[in-house]
Chains A and B, each alone.
Chain A
Amino acid sequence: MKHPRPPATPAPSTAPAASSNKPSTPTTVPTAKPALGAKPLPSRPFTPPAVLPKTPTVTTTPITEAQLVEIALGKTTFAEAMGMTRQEAFGLAQGAYRFFEFGQRERGLAIMQMLVELNPKTAAFHALLGAMQGRLGDERSASESYTRALALEPANLSARVNRAELFLKQGVLDAALDDLLAATKADPQQKTALGKRAWRLARTTSSALKELIARAKAAPAKAASSAPSKGPPPRR
């Protein structure tokens, strides 16, 4: 089906400004010579978009010896010393997360390790670093990172659920149960994806352990009932 063509309107020599407040100078883009037989395209003036992404301008000061001493003594963090806000740090963390999720795992990990050094007081950074280390197979470092995150923020759900899973994988059942209990308390309504995961894990582990313990209790009784009597063996 053919659609009716709109009537051709002559292009204005100068385009109106994109925003009425800010007049902008349009630039005419030179058009290539049209092919033989083809209709020449009307020249369209190029108008820059009204909102261009802002280039950040931050005032920076080089590190001093006094700041190094304060950082070494734990009185301040690198982030504080350089004036880095949490949004800036989380922006970098988001970049690291994206790298990791889209295949550049080593790069994502390096950026996360840097962020943990810049501000070791943020539990979320330790938790994310732990998850990255765990996915790369370094479970010992992952466990340490989760523990650091939980020391800073005991209600950190991500670190709690991931550590519980790690404990389960290692067969440390009692520690896993403690973490699962804390995780289910942190998100009792299962509002987050991690909370749902914690509840599913808790249900599975709880019912499995209940059954295993019941089996363990039943096993000696069964063994006792099936054990041979102390009397002499029956004669044939």
Chain B
Amino acid sequence: MSTINSSVQTLSTMTGMSEVELQKRAQEMVAAGKVKGLSALEQQLVVQTTGPKQSTVEAFQAMGVGNAEPHALEEPAQVLGHLQTEAGFAPSPTTTTAGMTSQMSPAALDTAAAAGQQRMGGFFTVGKKDGPASAFESINKMISEVDVAGIQGGDESSRQLAFEKLKLQMQRISQGMQALTNTLNQNHETAKTAINNLRA
């Protein structure tokens, strides 16, 4: 069996479409004049393939593409290492490369996460001590009471829409905070159980 035939089979496995269906799609691509993308990709593959031809190992790995779990998750700690921008965040004190490397360590990230959680807790409190649920209720009330007509810029309907969107955002934040709080409680319970077991 040739490599090319195996590629068709792999693509068929990956897409969940039969070879006949794939061929139909390929024909449609040709008919619509969308083969340009394929030519460009081939060119890129040729340009970058320097030195010897694709090894047997590489060919084997390419065959296994269909078996890899889709939707690869990229670890945030790794992303933080090469993140160039700080858009949307408060400025951080460390910007040097050495500082960035130390920021990526698991311990540093855990400490930072705890700080972030504290920060969120304080921000979404609004003077309420009854827990996050009532705090979010009062924030939603605050959003409803904003005088949209009095805000400068844009038309009123778009501003109204923006505030409706804000309510949805608040709902998602509330759910996320709930998930974090449950985690803390669970960790606390686990730690308590471990200590009690040791004492016993």
Contacts and interface: CB of A to CB of B under 8 A. Distances in A.
B173 A85 contact: no
Interface residues of A, number: 107
B134 interface: no
A17 interface: no
Contacts of B23: 212, 215-216, 219
A150 to B, nearest CB: 14
B26 A173 contact: yes
B41 A84 contact: no
B92 A87 contact: yes
B194 interface: no
Contacts, number: 329
Contact of A206 (B45, B48, B108, B115): B45
Interface stretch (A8-16, A38-46, A195-203): A195-203
A122 B127 CA distance: 30
Nearest to A134: B71
A48 interface: no
Contacts of A55: 114
Contact of A119 (B17, B27, B35, B88): B88
A180 B178 CA distance: 38
A202 B41 contact: yes
A72 B72 contact: no
A60 B32 CA distance: 58
A211 B37 contact: no
A130 B151 CA distance: 34
Contacts of B177: 114
A211 to B, nearest CB: 4
Contact of B119 (A83, A97, A107, A188): A83
B71 A142 contact: yes
A205 interface: yes
Given A92-B116, A215-B23, A86 B92 contact: yes
B52 to A, nearest CB: 15
Interface in B13-72: 14-17, 19, 21-23, 25-27, 29-30, 32, 34-35, 37-38, 40-42, 44-45, 48, 54, 58, 61-66, 68-72
Interface of A: 53-63, 65, 68-69, 71-74, 77-97, 99-101, 106-107, 110-122, 124, 127-128, 130-132, 134-135, 142, 157-158, 161-162, 165-166, 168-171, 173-174, 177-178, 180-181, 184-185, 188, 193-194, 197, 199-213, 215-217, 219
